[in-house]
Structure 1
């Protein structure tokens, strides 16, 4: 099971839930700083029970889809976000 991607603006955090191998709902999140329509992605983290299962990659896919839909631009500062976006050049249009 996957929960819907959401922007928790009050906490300056994007998050999404994924079910781990034991059926428990766990979270992947990205902390961000907002500057107008730009989001600096400061840190991406997956619950340790989700690591290696592809949840962080699916989360990043949802994040860039959200950015496109909301006409946001992203500035990745987190090494994971930088690496993911470098591997997925089809999303260069969301980069500031």
Structure 2
């Protein structure tokens, strides 16, 4: 399952496609030069329970680490995932 990172000046997304259609995505908005806010995570019902949402959060955390960024979240799924896993403590701010 490949995750593609799509970004522009102010927004971005980590996307998984199946048969050319988006089957899962995590979207974010940039907040200044040093952080971004995860505002939405969605996984197709056929993929739920397979850790796909967590893989998207992992991709966002890797992106934050590679670019020395901090993550904030308004998406309930992302907030829970980031709070519950201590491995995100280096990038998760709230």
TM-score by length of 2: 0.79
Structure 2 equivalent of residue 67 of structure 1: 64
TM-score by length of 1: 0.77
Q: Please tell me the root mean square deviation across aligned C-alpha atoms, in Å.
A: 2.1
Q: Secondary structure at the match of 2:50?
A: coil
Structure 1 equivalent of residue 74 of structure 2: 77
Task: Please report how far the alpha carbon of residue 33 of structure 1 lies from its aligned counterpart in structure 2 after TM superposition.
Answer: 2.0
The one of 22, 33, 52 aligned to 2:49: 52
Task: Please report how far the alpha carbon of residue 75 of structure 1 lies from its aligned counterpart in structure 2 after TM superposition.
Answer: 0.3
How many pairs were matched up? 91
Structure 1's unaligned 5+ residue stretches are none
Structure 1 equivalent of residue 11 of structure 2: 12
Task: Please report how far the alpha carbon of residue 38 of structure 1 lies from its aligned counterpart in structure 2 after TM superposition.
Answer: 1.1
Structure 1 equivalent of residue 89 of structure 2: 92
CA separation of 1:5 and 1:32: change in aligned 2, threshold 3 A: same
Q: Secondary structure at the match of 1:58?
A: helix
